[in-house]
Amino acid sequence: MPHTRNRNPSPIPEVTWDTGLKEMNETWKGAIACLGVAVFFVMTIGIIYWQVVDQPNKNWILKGSFSGLIWERRSQTLVIQTLTEDKTFVEIDVGNVGNPDTEVPFVRNLCWLNKTEFCYTWDSVADVKISLDIPDMLHQTECYSMKWTPIHCHVHLKDCFSMSNVSWYGGASVVMPSWPINEANISMQAFVMSDLRDNPLGYGSVLERYFLGSSGVAVMVAPQVPLLVGVESRQQFCLQSGSSLERPPLQYTVCVGENLRDLHQEVAPQRSLPTRELPSLGILRQTFWKFLPDEESGLTVERELRTFSNRLKRHHLGEGVISLNEHSTSLLVNMDHDYLYSKRGMSKRQSRDLAFVKLLNISVTLSPLLRVDTRQFQSSMRDGTEAFWLSRPSSSQGRPVPLLMQWKGKYCVKLNLSNPEAVNWFLERVSVLQAHLGMEYVILEGGEGSLFEEQAPQYTQALSGDEYVQQLVELAGRIGDTTIVTSGTRSSHKPHFIQMAPLQSDWSYAGIKGIIPALLHHSLLGYNFVIPDAVGGSLWEELVTDEELFVRWLEIVAFLPVISFQIPPWDFGEDWTLNLTRFYVSKHQDLVVPLIMKYAEVWQSSGDPIYRPLWWMSPDDQVTFTVDDQFLIGDEILVAPVTEKGATHRDIYLPGTDCQWQDMNNAKVFDGGTMLYNYAVALDEVAIFLRRNS
């Protein structure tokens, strides 16, 4: 019989397939859930590790032909480097916008279709757009145009440029000039001119929105945007926009090149200005003598003028130019009549002829300001010419209310140069003075702002920024090319000499040590034709009595375009000082003036400065970046004065490795690239070296 197989020997009960599958799902679900949690945990750890540790700190944002813009995430800094990363041009701290504790990736380009633009919205606070300009291959310069625009009002946009391994130059003149500006310490404030006598912590009378760095970088701020600038000594300088309902942007351009000299020759602001015009160069051969009488009548002023002129001739110092201040000018003009500020012009009652004054070579000082305690101002308010002054409308009367400001310690009103009638009125006054005094030169001062003006509401375009200074320079042009101005911005191409700010009568950087840094600052910004402060300084009312200071000061300004005196050398009572004064006036005439006239033509054709820092000859030599007590006249003469009290020796650096320098006092010859330690310079000497080709 066939064997019967047991078909269900197992004791396990039979179950359906569906039931078995359900039990398997419950089992695997737990395992899969645990695995999912583990994967999520690992991914979270990985993301955190990538963000904190493994994410690259540097991201290339834009790349040019030789440079590129990098975002450094941790320091929130924009860095411009060479593509090989062997040279850093500049580091820009932009972490001041928004929340400084929040790391911003800054790598998502919203302008990804354009390889030369980068756009981004920063922390929901501001939009930034960066454009790369790559010029033709003939120019080794690349520029990055940056524009920050606030998304809402009351946002301060602030970018700071590091001074680490970079010496910076440019900006504005200050009460204690420094070259470079790294040593300066200036609080964040409006980047506008002010009178340093009233506001010694502000910015002075020569100002440009241009900064040049020794690494081969230049920063140029757009002229139309409101701007604040601050300098933190040896740390950084910062640009900041103002906050208002109009949401003004922060807009500037950063250019980089092979070195700072070549870059400056490419991008300096004066090179983009209209044709450069030369002023009347006859002034170079004139010595200016400031005339400060203590008298309060025109007759005594005239008598003292005669005496002073005779003493100049008796001491064989030539006639020169006798410079009258505004007060002396008014006393002379108003000797017998009062027509200078009359609406109708010259009165019928003529004054006696000032024949002797007309024979003198004089300069007069004028300003667009009028004291409110004068009869002339009261007359202007009565005869309906109050619109001649910067004013704001009055809601009650509907007539303009002149805006008060302070000038030389007095309350004044300021001429409205946007009013053609006011300008013509002023020019008529100059013509009257010319007919009455026959002056050769006009010094036009008072363009700088004042504390009252800077705090005033901007009711009129005539008060905005430094527009007034540009209008005043235009007025100077209508007077003539012998007009001397005391302030300048975007006007270095105009044919005028510029009077440098007064200095203290001491050995500090506010005194004699500040002459060369101020000279190099003016020249870098395009203002080559300068008249330095009077020998010994003129800021203080007391005349200098330190004969050594007088002599060392004279030895510096003898190599500048014009020599100016306030204290006459005979006041020291020694023939030695008089003879030394004659010697350096003669050296200025014979050596310096021909050099200036030669390099004036170079400046007119190329824009290269007449007075140059040492790095102009050695732009890659780091020693030259901080030398602030030597200067070059063109590429021929190196001048190294003594600015330390009691010193008869000093260290002198001779730039350039492809040339030699010959001491013009003793004919000794030295190789370029040499530091002369403890070099002898007697009290009656200034170290002068003539360049010779090797």
Express each pLDDT in 29-71 by its tens digit. 666 767 777 766 766 665 555 444 545 678 899 999 999 999 9
pLDDT at 140 over 90: no
pLDDT at 318 over 90: no
pLDDT at 396 over 70: no
pLDDT the model gives residue 26: 63
Express each pLDDT in 160-177 by its tens digit. 999 999 999 999 999 999
Range of the domain at 50: 15-55
User: Of 191, 187, 205, 174, whose CA–CA distance to 242 is shortest?
Assistant: 191
The whole-model pTM stands at 0.87
Three-class secondary structure of residue 2 per DSSP: coil
Q: Are residues 144 and 94 in the same domain?
A: yes
Provide the mean pLDDT of the chain. Answer: 85
User: Of 626, 625, 614, 686, whose CA–CA distance to 657 is shortest?
Assistant: 614
Q: Are residues 118 and 19 in the same domain?
A: no
Q: Are residues 188 and 150 in the same domain?
A: yes
Express each pLDDT in 533-587 by its tens digit. 999 999 887 777 899 999 999 999 999 999 999 999 999 988 999 999 999 999 9
Which range has highest mean pLDDT (273-282, 380-389, 648-657)?
648-657
Which range has highest mean pLDDT (72-81, 332-341, 596-605)?
596-605
Task: With cut-offs at 50, 70 and 90, classify the pLDDT of residue 134.
Answer: confident
Question: What CATH number is associated with residue 129?
Answer: 2.70.98
Radius of gyration of the chain (CA): 34
**Looking at 248, 267, 286, which one is the last position of a domain?**
267
pLDDT at 314 over 70: yes
In a domain, 113, yes or no: yes
Express each pLDDT in 71-113 by its tens digit. 998 888 999 999 999 999 999 998 766 555 555 555 677 787 7
How many domains, in total, are found in the chain? 2
Task: With cut-offs at 50, 70 and 90, classify the pLDDT of residue 138.
Answer: low
In a domain, 314, yes or no: no
Q: Are residues 24 and 113 in the same domain?
A: no
Q: Are residues 40 and 164 in the same domain?
A: no
Give the integer Cα–Cα distance in Å for 550 and 572: 10
Q: Are residues 32 and 169 in the same domain?
A: no
pLDDT at 13 over 50: no
Give the integer Cα–Cα distance in Å for 248 and 192: 17
Dump the DSSP string for 462-514: GGSTTHHHHHHHHHHHHH-TTEEES-BSS-TTSS-EEEPPP--SSSSTTTGGG
In a domain, 110, yes or no: yes
